[in-house]
Chains A and B, each alone.
Chain A
């Protein structure tokens, strides 16, 4: 019963390096999301995909790109990592009715030095 799986779980990058966070869900959900959580703070939305083929910016999209590869997979790319992007990243998915909860992956701890 995998739910939402994201990889890698931990990553250290040097400033300027690029990387992609991968996310896959096996619940046949329409919508997928990427959030970031900075120490002692709530989650902030980076990008979301309401359905396969669509992506939209969230609250903090600068420095990131996303790809909704298919219904199952939604990746987040950092093209040129900056120390300000040191954070915990959560992928999530849901169906698109208001009463349904959003299910989260376990988080990816990213440090940019």
Chain B
């Protein structure tokens, strides 16, 4: 079963408008983290924003905000005032705890399929 689902293969937005990129997740672990990464055409992975499962408030980082609805298991990314430079692939990812021989740790970011955002002038 998919742990992270991004249902929008592509999204278009007009410059200066806001856009929401959808992400739903599946986990039974009470402690987890949700991340959004941006991947421009140059290929690097750029961290945008993080939301912890116990955080009471939605995360915000500049023009990025995360609409966290825990009961619905959704973590949508909202980009306000879109810019041409926002055109890129966007990935939602989740980090869960896991147990290994040495103890318990957190790692293994699991990624969604991504959403390609195109900003029109």
Report which A residues bind B (CB closer than 8 A). 30-31, 33, 40-45, 48, 50-51, 53-54, 56, 58, 88, 90, 92, 94, 96-99, 101-104, 106-107
Contacts of A33 on B, CB cut-off 8 Å?
107-109
Which of these, B101, B105, B112, B114, contacts A96 with CB under 8 Å? B105
Contacts of A106 on B, CB cut-off 8 Å?
43-44
Chain B: CB-nearest residue to A42:
B111
Interface residues on B, range: 20 to 34
B112 touches A42 (CB 8 A): yes
Interface contacts (Cβ under 8 Å), in number, total: 73
B81-121 toward A: CB 8 Å interface, digit per residue (1/0)?
Answer: 00000000001000111101110011111111110000000
B45 touches A104 (CB 8 A): yes
CA distance A33 to B105 in the complex (A): 13
Contacts of A98 on B, CB cut-off 8 Å?
31-33, 52, 95-97, 106
Is B47 positioned at the interface, with any CB of A under 8 Å from its CB? yes
CA distance A51 to B106 in the complex (A): 11
Contacts of A96 on B, CB cut-off 8 Å?
105-107
CA distance A43 to B108 in the complex (A): 11
Q: Can you pick out 14 interface pairs between chain A and chain B where the beta carbons lie within 8 Å of each other?
A: A33-B108, A33-B109, A41-B113, A42-B111, A51-B105, A53-B102, A54-B101, A92-B109, A96-B107, A98-B33, A98-B95, A101-B35, A103-B47, A106-B43
Is B68 positioned at the interface, with any CB of A under 8 Å from its CB? no
Secondary structure of the B contact surface, majority rule: strand
CA distance A40 to B91 in the complex (A): 11
B100 touches A104 (CB 8 A): no
Is B25 positioned at the interface, with any CB of A under 8 Å from its CB? no
Whole-angstrom distance from the CB of B28 to the nearest CB of chain A?
15
CA distance A82 to B5 in the complex (A): 29
Contacts of B32 on A, CB cut-off 8 Å?
98
Contacts of A44 on B, CB cut-off 8 Å?
111
Q: A42-B111, A101-B35 are in contact. List 16 more A-B contacts (CB 8 A).
A: A41-B114, A43-B91, A44-B111, A48-B108, A51-B105, A58-B108, A94-B107, A96-B105, A96-B107, A97-B106, A98-B31, A98-B95, A99-B33, A99-B52, A101-B50, A106-B44
